[in-house]
Amino acid sequence: MRPVAVVAAGKTPFGAFSGLDLRALAVEAGEKCLANARVPRERIQSFYLGNFAGPAFTGQNHLAPYISMALGLEGIPATRVEAACASSGSAFFHAWAEVAAGIYDFVMVVGVEKMTSQSTARTTEILASAGDLAGEIRAGSTFASLFAMIARRHMHEFGTKKEHLAAVAVKNHAAGALNPDAHMRKVITLEQALAGRPIADPLGLYDCSLISDGAAAVILAPLERAAEFTANPVRILGVAQASDYVALDQKADITTFPAVRRAAEKAYQMAGVGPRDIQFAELHDCFTIAEIIATEDLGFTPRGCGGPYAMAGYTSLQGERPINASGGLKSKGHPVGATGVAQICDVVQQIRGQAGERQVARHSLGLAQNLGGSGATCVVSILAEA
């Protein structure tokens, strides 16, 4: 396997864009990405689309050629990958594999989701299709209630408090307020976070990520050739995908995600680094409790300590290991299928030192963790200065 680099990255802002359909968003991100490096589109040899529920949100299926042809990527294999909220993380993993194995030299990955054209009730229903329909969803669960059960159990096992959850929200809102592409640029206090109306107890409004429109894109190439195409390539040190049960009731312990631990273990091994080496990370904070558990499953902090770890400021923009300097899914927004590649774009931007007001101090080695459903898919990627 040869070393692979991200040579280009581009994103749309995240938000509610009534005038832009799914394809327009994907094309905007793709064009920005193409403009970010000297890779002519004729050289792209394979195209991946990460998308969770475009058919349900927009009616349009068969989305990969629908978008690749609109980007002028004529004739090449165009493949849509679906893995719930980890759809474009998974697409990134497969694109990396193609370049690493020498199948292709230039592969483009776009992640996209257009969510805001549906009612909240319909959106909740579409998102719930990533859970176990016959079991937990028909029994009345939503993703908020599934993660509420996870949070409740984490509280029971480890003494995690609502204040810990709120601290994650406050931190991510503070960072997102500095991100011009974030969906919700709004600083909140701990009191405001705690006073959010209940969604699924113990989770309140500020514990939940946003329903957003958006797209993100990257181009991968062999590291040895990367300098031909960009002045600041970013090396993919390690990337791994793992899976687990879709249904929460099949898991032996709902306060930890085996798919995250498996993917992290492989990615660390491939990268030749450990948790202590990771300087900053973009984690999948679909709910505040998810970020807390991710910091534990990735080995940043012992099990049960994710809450105090966030509350004590270790993961803030100025902390020893900033987490979600982009604002995270919580404040930047969470267009489901775009999130995995958007995290990669955010890590790339930090490594390049181009993150503006939210630039982290130590930024040569970053990690992105993208979670599908309540942990049935996870992709962990480790990137570094080339």
Pick the binder of its own copies from 3, 45, 60, 303 (CB under 8 A).
Answer: 60
- CA 43, CA 37: separation in Å to the nearest integer? 12
**98 touches its own copies (CB under 8 A):** yes
**CA-to-CA distance for 236 and 229, rounded, in angstroms?**
16
Q: Which of 33, 85, 208, 378 is catalytic?
A: 85
Among 222, 245, 303, 319, binds its own copies (CB under 8 A): 245
85 assigned to active site: yes
Name the 3-class secondary structure at 340: helix
CA-CA-CA-CA torsion sign (252, 258, 261, 265): positive
Q: Is residue 30 part of the contact set for its own copies (CB under 8 A)?
A: no
Task: For strands 280-282 and 365-372, give the pairing.
Answer: parallel
Shortest reach from residue 360's CB to its own copies, in Å? 30
Query: Nearest approach, Cβ of 162 to its own copies (angstroms)?
Result: 29
Which tokens sit at 63? 């989305």
Q: Which one of residues 16, 41, 77, 153 is an interface residue with its own copies (CB under 8 A)?
A: 77
Is residue 257 a contact point for its own copies (CB under 8 A)?
Answer: no
At 133, the amino acid letter reads L
The residue range among 89-97, 194-202, 223-231, 326-334 that interacts with its own copies, by the rule CB under 8 A, is 89-97
Report d(CA 355, CA 345) in Å as an integer: 11
d(C-alpha 371, C-alpha 334), whole Å: 12
Question: For residues 272-297, b (16+ Cβ closer than 10 Å) or e, as one string?
Answer: ebeeeebbbbbbbbbbbbbbbbbbbb
- Give dist(CA 313, CA 108) in Å, integer: 37
Q: Pick from 12, 36, 68, 88 the residue near its own copies by CB under 8 A.
A: 68
Interacting residues of 40 by C-beta distance below 8 A, sequence separation 6+: none
Is 90 a binding residue for its own copies by CB under 8 A? The answer is: yes
Shortest reach from residue 21's CB to its own copies, in Å: 8
Establish if 268 lies at the interface with its own copies (CB under 8 A): no
User: Which of 58/326 has CB closer to its own copies?
Assistant: 58
Amino acid in position 271:
A
Q: What is d(CA 127, CA 125) in angstroms, rounded to the nearest whole number?
A: 5
142 vs 192, which CB is nearer to its own copies?
A: 142
Active site residue 334: yes
Tell me which of 154, 164, 183, 334 is the catalytic residue.
334
Binding mask 352-381 for its own copies (x = CB under 8 A): --------------------xx--xx----
Q: Which residue has 């631990």 as its token pair?
A: 261
Query: Counting contacts by CB under 8 A, is residue 21 touching its own copies?
Result: yes
Does residue 59 belong to the site contacting its own copies (CB under 8 A)?
yes
Q: Does 275 bind its own copies (CB under 8 A)?
A: no
Dig out the tokens for 236 from the structure.
């993919």
User: Do the beta carbons of residue 324 and residue 300 sit within 8 Å?
Assistant: no
Would you please indicate which residues are annotated as catalytic (active-site) residues? 85, 334
List interacting residues with its own copies (CB under 8 A).
1, 21, 47, 52-53, 55-56, 58-66, 68-69, 75-84, 90, 93-94, 97-98, 100-103, 129-134, 240-246, 250, 258-259, 262, 372-373, 376-377
